[in-house]
A and B are shown apart, each in its own frame.
Chain A
Amino acid sequence: MSKPRRRALRLGVAGWIAIAVVVTAVVVAIAAPWLAPQLPTGGSILEQFEPPSVTHPLGTDVDGNDILSRLMYGARPSLLGPLLVVVLALLIGVPIALASAWRGGVIDTAIGRALDLIFAFPTVLIAALLVLVVGRGLPAAIVAISIAYIPYTTRLTRTMALRERNKAYILACEVQGLSTAAIMFRHLLPNISRFIIAQATIAFGFALIDLAALSFIGIGIIPPAPDWGIMVGDTTSIAQGNYTGVIAAAGCIVAIVGAFTLLGNRLDEGSELK
């Protein structure tokens, strides 16, 4: 018997470029300790704002740290953070969405209202509140953004699950006598998984921006730890007219977010069954 084949995914040139960008970023993040010319922190203030040179290809920042090394090390929290956000938001959101779509009625309404409530709080507010409770740092930022994303992942998954649930084959499974768990995990979830992955990919980009924003306003990662958000928010450098680090970090964010959004959209197009 042949394995079920996936529908062909049309990437196009842009899609391949996006994949190249993502793969490069991941490789750099993992191999940062070996690839980076310097350590990301612990530079000397005496080497502040050096122009690009052989030792510092992108120059140094206000603390005398090598900007390229900071970018490379910064890829780690900048990629790991959004990944954790998306995974958390899906782990919580997808089961809620499935329950909501499957049971319908009062349960669906109750879940919908609860999600509205969470939706009403801006991400930054949730983050600020969490920081009060657990203190500053990456974990608080990730948890805050995950909470803020739950309504988003839940709503989208619910809509898709509801659409799929009303298809005849799911009803047929029920009539066949399959248990709810079997229908969910063997039929419903696999058939909407591509859509969920597409949405998660797009959400990854947004999470990257939101995490950077929290770092930027000072309630995310604590400086001088390397992070793209912190690098963009390096106001001292800007005040002194040195934009190299800011532009480089912003460029990385734009490239990654762009790549993920594009891939997400490509996946989404393919997930629409005919």
Chain B
Amino acid sequence: MTALLEISGLTISIPSSSGDHLLVDGVDLRVDTGSSVALVGESGSGKSVTARSILRLLPDRAKVSGDVLFEGSSIFAMSNAELMRFRQTKVAMVFQDPRASINPMRTIGDFLIDGLRAGRDLARASAVEEATRLLGIVGVSRAEDRLQQYPHEFSGGMLQRVMIASAVGSGATLLLADEPTTALDVSIQAEVMALLGGLRDEFGLSVLFITHDIDLATSHCDRIDVMYAGAVVESRASSDLVAAPRHPYSAALMGCRTHIESRSARLVAIDGAPINASAARGRCAFEDRCSFAAAACSDGRPDAMSLAGDGYVRCVRADEIANDLVRLLHRPSDELAAVVAPIVIAATGLRKEFKVRGAATPTVAVDDVSLTLRRGETLGIVGESGSGKTTLGRLLLGIESADAGTIVVDGALRDGRARSAAERRKRGRQLQIVFQDPYTSLDPRQTPVSAVTEILALHRADLGRDGRLSSAVRLLREVGLDDRQCSALPAELSGGQRQRVAIAKALAADPAAIILDEAVSGLDVSIQAQVLNLLADLQESTGVAYLFISHDLSVIRQIAHRVMVMRDGSVVEEGATVSVLTDPVADYTKQLLAAVPSAAGPAA
């Protein structure tokens, strides 16, 4: 087969004040004519950047080396006119959210016809005919009528079909599908994937499919390239990979899909920031999180090792651990779940100083702190007041901007306060907070229902007025409020009830993670337990991740999977909660534990 697309040694970095930020580190990738290739990786692995580079859709300041060849000619050598033509006629892209990539003010017909006529001379009448035909191909019934309709009259799945129709209509030979089904229901997901497969067979359309879902990839694509920290760690034919993954990361991704959602008792500690390609230079990027890591792993970046059946793996121990990996796959463990759940928050090297009037040196509130939080996980941050734990939370929220370090929340880099209303709204869906004091954290003039409705109006405009009201009531019942309390003013509610309202408000935006800043510290012990149980239940049903900031070790013990102990702005110890609290290594942790009144001892 001939190579339609060939990427070789692609390296992309973005210059920043703290040196170049490496996004893609020497990626080789090949898509043959009529084949479908999946680029699989977590958010931040560089898969989307790689896909965008094929259309030269990179920021101007990005530094790019290596080459992207399409039908044998380099994309980077194209003139602007050639590039424009290339984008119009050769390659089409389908995005995760079809609604965001279509003008809501124009009809579906206008959208398709514009696309059809952009690349070539085509009379409007024949364009209409062609658009009707295309909608038929992608499985939209009553195509003629639907051309007159507007995007809001289409479901997400239907709209994604329209995007695919437009791609087919452009005459493109390569379709870049960037998480095209992530926003869709599972059943619709399968239909869209089947449609893409059918188009490949029928029209010889090659597909580069970008996804985080390795099962979806292996069941619909010919080849899989697994990306980690900006590099392809394993490149295999789907069938080979399913039979025997050779990289620990691929195995981890495959092994425990079903376990991600379940709350596991024990999660392994993950040090450093696994998604940062810059930090992983000169060694195996996966080393920190790999249970098979050995000394050889930090000795240079692993070279690609060829495998039987036209594939390769970047792991120096690939041969030694091949059998272990296969065994692991059939006996998925909690440890694998911890490695595989998508990263929600990744922070690296955070530092924050506060200038103190009159003092010669500034106070360092947060000093070189890195953390990773995964979906469905609770990370406890313990420390006494002044340890910097609250400042850390404010840095992650973007209320305070860090003096050094990077923060990635739900795949988006954030640096200080949101710069636009749209960004602020977007951030609302990424990370929420519940504060310590339930007496100041609610607007005294707002009832719980109106507070939650207001947030739903912001993030769930699709629900409509009545839908939002019923959703708000449902959410408030879920956190344990009755009808009367739903429409009472905060002043009429108890501290525990108010904290439930705050939790409902945080959940209303359906965020990826919630920071709980001493959220139960102000409550009576019995209420505390109720709220902790509620939090655990909600995590189980929604998969939301918690960053649980507390000075109270017994609370941390109940709720956190992993724990990070902070003192004077730095992390003194971190690891699985059980091991840190039963077998602490750092003296400071021992001191903290000794100070906790035990059940056997005299009551505090």
| A176 to B: closest C-beta gap in Å | 5
Cβ B505 vs Cβ A174 within 8 A? no
Give the A-B pair count, Cβ closer than 8 A: 76
| A-chain residues with CB within 8 Å of residue B399 when the two chains form the complex | 171, 174-175
Cβ B489 vs Cβ A4 within 8 A? yes
Indicate which residue in B428, B432, B443, B509 contacts A191 across the interface (CB closer than 8 Å).
B443
With known contacts A2-B487, A169-B440, A172-B433, A177–B426 Cβ distance under 8 A: yes
With known contacts A1-B449, A169-B442, A177–B433 Cβ distance under 8 A: no
Cβ B443 vs Cβ A187 within 8 A? yes
C-beta contact mask, B264-299 vs A, less than 8 Å → 1, else 0? 000000000000000000000000000000000000
Does A14 make an interface contact (CB < 8 A)? no
C-beta contact mask, B437-478 vs A, less than 8 Å → 1, else 0? 100111111110110001100110000000000000000000
Q: When chains A and B are docked, how far (Å) is the Cα of A20 from the Cα of B459?
A: 49
Does B425 make an interface contact (CB < 8 A)? yes
| B-chain residues with CB within 8 Å of residue A5 when the two chains form the complex | 489
Q: When chains A and B are docked, how far (Å) is the Cα of A191 from the Cα of B449?
A: 18
Does B337 make an interface contact (CB < 8 A)? no
C-beta contact mask, B498-534 vs A, less than 8 Å → 1, else 0? 0000100100110000000000000000000000000
Does A167 make an interface contact (CB < 8 A)? yes
Cβ B459 vs Cβ A168 within 8 A? no
| B-chain residues with CB within 8 Å of residue A173 when the two chains form the complex | 443
Does B263 make an interface contact (CB < 8 A)? no
Within 8 A of B (CB), among A182-206: 186-187, 190-191
Q: When chains A and B are docked, how far (Å) is the Cα of A186 from the Cα of B445?
A: 10
Indicate which residue in A171, A172, A177, A180 contacts B458 across the interface (CB closer than 8 Å).
A177
Does A273 make an interface contact (CB < 8 A)? yes
C-beta contact mask, A141-173 vs B, less than 8 Å → 1, else 0? 000000000000000000000000001110111
The chain B residue with its CB closest to the CB of A177 is B428
| A-chain residues with CB within 8 Å of residue B421 when the two chains form the complex | 179-180
Does A23 make an interface contact (CB < 8 A)? no
With known contacts A168-B441, A172-B441, A172-B505, A178–B458 Cβ distance under 8 A: yes
The chain A residue with its CB closest to the CB of B446 is A4
Cβ A175 vs Cβ B431 within 8 A? yes
The chain A residue with its CB closest to the CB of B399 is A171
Does B429 make an interface contact (CB < 8 A)? yes
| A-chain residues with CB within 8 Å of residue B455 when the two chains form the complex | 176-177
The chain B residue with its CB closest to the CB of A173 is B443
| A-chain residues with CB within 8 Å of residue B440 when the two chains form the complex | 167-169
| A-chain residues with CB within 8 Å of residue B459 when the two chains form the complex | 177
Cβ B431 vs Cβ A191 within 8 A? no
Does B85 make an interface contact (CB < 8 A)? no
Cβ A168 vs Cβ B437 within 8 A? yes
Does B424 make an interface contact (CB < 8 A)? yes
- The interface size bin for chain B is 35 or more
Q: When chains A and B are docked, how far (Å) is the Cα of A177 from the Cα of B508?
A: 12
Indicate which residue in A2, A169, A179 contacts B424 across the interface (CB closer than 8 Å).
A179
Q: When chains A and B are docked, how far (Å) is the Cα of A175 from the Cα of B414?
A: 13
| B563 to A: closest C-beta gap in Å | 24
The chain A residue with its CB closest to the CB of B459 is A177
With known contacts A177-B425, A179-B424, A180-B421, A172–B502 Cβ distance under 8 A: yes
The chain B residue with its CB closest to the CB of A178 is B458
Cβ B432 vs Cβ A176 within 8 A? yes
Does B427 make an interface contact (CB < 8 A)? yes
| A-chain residues with CB within 8 Å of residue B437 when the two chains form the complex | 168
With known contacts A1-B487, A191-B443, A172–B435 Cβ distance under 8 A: yes
The chain B residue with its CB closest to the CB of A172 is B441
Interface centre among B397, B431, B440, B449 (most CB of A within 10 A): B440
| A172 to B: closest C-beta gap in Å | 6
| B-chain residues with CB within 8 Å of residue A178 when the two chains form the complex | 424, 428, 454, 458
| A-chain residues with CB within 8 Å of residue B509 when the two chains form the complex | 176-177
The chain B residue with its CB closest to the CB of A171 is B399
Cβ A176 vs Cβ B458 within 8 A? yes
| B503 to A: closest C-beta gap in Å | 12
Q: When chains A and B are docked, how far (Å) is the Cα of A179 from the Cα of B422?
A: 8
| A-chain residues with CB within 8 Å of residue B502 when the two chains form the complex | 172
Within 8 A of A (CB), among B396-440: 397, 399, 421, 424-429, 431-433, 435, 437, 440
Interface centre among B397, B441, B487 (most CB of A within 10 A): B441
| A63 to B: closest C-beta gap in Å | 54
Q: When chains A and B are docked, how far (Å) is the Cα of A8 from the Cα of B532?
A: 36
| A-chain residues with CB within 8 Å of residue B446 when the two chains form the complex | 4, 187
Cβ A177 vs Cβ B424 within 8 A? yes
C-beta contact mask, A260-274 vs B, less than 8 Å → 1, else 0? 000000000000010
| B591 to A: closest C-beta gap in Å | 31
Cβ B445 vs Cβ A168 within 8 A? no
Cβ A191 vs Cβ B444 within 8 A? yes
The chain A residue with its CB closest to the CB of B435 is A168
| A193 to B: closest C-beta gap in Å | 10
The chain A residue with its CB closest to the CB of B515 is A175
Q: When chains A and B are docked, how far (Å) is the Cα of A176 from the Cα of B397?
A: 11
C-beta contact mask, A58-88 vs B, less than 8 Å → 1, else 0? 0000000000000000000000000000000
The chain B residue with its CB closest to the CB of A188 is B443
| A-chain residues with CB within 8 Å of residue B444 when the two chains form the complex | 169, 191, 273
The chain A residue with its CB closest to the CB of B514 is A175
Q: Would you list 11 pairs from A and B whose C-beta atoms are within 8 A, ordered by A residue?
A: A1-B487, A167-B440, A171-B435, A172-B441, A173-B443, A175-B428, A176-B508, A177-B427, A177-B509, A178-B454, A187-B443
Q: Which residues of B approach A to under 8 Å, CB–CB?
A: 397, 399, 421, 424-429, 431-433, 435, 437, 440-447, 449-450, 454-455, 458-459, 487-489, 502, 505, 508-509
Other A-B contacts than A168-B435, A177-B425, A191-B445, 13 sampled, CB-CB below 8 A, are A2-B447, A4-B489, A169-B441, A169-B444, A175-B428, A175-B433, A176-B428, A176-B458, A176-B509, A177-B426, A177-B459, A179-B421, A179-B424
Nearest 9 pairs between A and B by C-beta? A177-B428, A168-B441, A177-B425, A168-B435, A1-B487, A179-B421, A168-B440, A167-B440, A4-B445
